[in-house]
Chains A and B, each alone.
Chain A
Amino acid sequence: MPKWFNPAAVVCALMFAASPFFIATSPDERDLGMVFKIFYYHMPSAWMFLLSAIVCGVASLRYLFSGDARRDRTAVSAAELTVLFGVITLVTGPLWARRSWGTWWIWDARITASLVGWMIAWSYLIVRKYGGPGSDKLAAGLAIFGMANVPFIYISVNFWRTIHPATTVVPKLPVDMSWRLWWCVTMFTLLYVLLLKLRVYLEQQRSRVDALYLAVEG
């Protein structure tokens, strides 16, 4: 593990520990009330979900055209993280929605597209596990299409008549809400980088095991 890993992990843990305190003291939103505070964890998770889908797609593209195994390891790791942050986003969202929109789920453009993106990441993992030989390339192809879904998720709220808040809310946040948001975004991004590094390390060790098995048998 690189030298920056442990200090960064400590910083991240401290940021997470501090976050509930300043989120509890943040102002409520005028129309949405206290449940709005889910926003501080829901939105960074959603950004990490989309970021991870892009990382997976780009790594898959580079893997397809270069054949470099490191890219493949990054792609698998990013796919798993996409599923993780996708679950977090798709659970915190309905918990917020139940209070503000009165319903757990709604089939609007962004939410449906996010669910689809999450399922694509999940099917990536299924293909890797059960596809047999050649499944790495198959899954890479899938990830590229999944990445094409991401801009669609992001801009869909601006196109459709939808109940989900638009992308304009972030730039227009007042200061006492925005610093908390950016703290959480930094914290989640740092967490994402750490988790990705760890997961790629796991893949590296697994390929070492494969090489060692070959050496033992040979």
Chain B
Amino acid sequence: MFLRAAWLILRKDLTVEVRSREIAYTTVFFAVSCILVFAFALVKEGKPPDDGAAGILWIAIAFAGTLALGRAFERERQSETLRALLLAPAARPAVYIGKLLGIVSLLIGAELLLVPLVALLYQAPLLRHPAWLAVILVSGTVGFAAVGTLFAAMLVRARSRDVLLPVLLYPISVPVIIAGVRGTAALLQPAIDLETVRFWIALLLAFDVVFVTLALWTFEPLMTD
């Protein structure tokens, strides 16, 4: 029952997104502009900074993710569907999981485009170890989205919600971003150090577990008036 509710919500979000493609296009466009701005700012004499690729990739994901989160819940607010979701006879945590998986799918879709772009523009061998990179990206995205979904949902009814989402989200997601960047940077080394990569992945997974658990626990009281 719980999983079915989460799956239905996820399917609803994906269907809306596939039909309108609004968030997908705007998020990807914004992330690409981010990457280009960094390219113009940091490339010296045609050469990108040495370890820049990992950091730039994750910054683009973080900024684009914040935009996507704001937009996804703004859509809910405009159609008043969030209230309907909360009134539905589905467990509140199921609503959270459904929205979380929707955001994660969206961000992963964006990352599928961003990673080759960053690899190309910064001449970084990001695709050398695709399996490890995939694990890092997915676990980092889940950690970021876990906190982001919770706060974006809470902010739907607040004042100054556009400003407050970054204020709330960035300090808490900084450890996740750091772990993601260091893990990705470790993959970019000419001689890959698997132990370091595994360490950062373990840390990312620990963050995921902590954040998702805390979010599930507090989602119900936070969404109740």
Q: CB–CB under 8 A between A and B in the complex?
A: yes
Q: Do residues B171 and A127 form an inter-chain contact, with CB atoms below 8 A?
A: no
- Surface stretch bound by A, among B62-70, B99-107, B150-158: B150-158
Q: Chain A interface: which size bin?
A: 20 to 34
Map CB proximity to B onto A170-192 as digits: 1 under 8 Å, 0 otherwise: 00000000000000000000000
Chain A contact residues, majority secondary structure: helix
Which of A64, A130, A141 lies at the interface centre, i.e. has the most chain B CB atoms within 10 A of its CB?
A: A141
CB-nearest residue of chain B relative to A130? B160
- Is B147 an interface position by the 8 A CB rule? yes
Map CB proximity to B onto A16-48 as digits: 1 under 8 Å, 0 otherwise: 000000000000000000000000000000000
Which of A119, A123, A132, A148 makes the CB contact (< 8 A) with B158?
A132
Residues of A with C-beta under 8 A to B1: none
Which of A116, A119, A126, A141 makes the CB contact (< 8 A) with B154?
A141
Which of A64, A113, A132, A148 makes the CB contact (< 8 A) with B210?
A148
Shortest CB–CB separation between residue A29 and chain B, in angstroms? 31
Shortest CB–CB separation between residue B82 and chain A, in angstroms? 14
CA distance A138 to B168 in the complex (A): 9
Residues of A with C-beta under 8 A to B157: 134
Which of B159, B163, B171 lies at the interface centre, i.e. has the most chain A CB atoms within 10 A of its CB?
A: B171
CA distance A61 to B222 in the complex (A): 10
Map CB proximity to B onto A96-128 as digits: 1 under 8 Å, 0 otherwise: 000000000000000011001001100100110
CA distance A140 to B171 in the complex (A): 15
Between A and B, 28 residue pairs with Cβ closer than 8 Å are A61-B218, A64-B218, A113-B175, A116-B171, A116-B172, A116-B175, A119-B171, A127-B167, A130-B164, A131-B158, A131-B164, A132-B158, A133-B158, A133-B159, A134-B225, A137-B221, A137-B222, A138-B154, A138-B158, A138-B164, A138-B168, A142-B151, A142-B172, A145-B211, A145-B214, A148-B211, A149-B172, A149-B175
The 9 A-B pairs at the shortest CB distance, nearest first, are namely: A132-B159, A119-B171, A64-B221, A120-B171, A145-B172, A123-B167, A116-B174, A141-B222, A138-B154
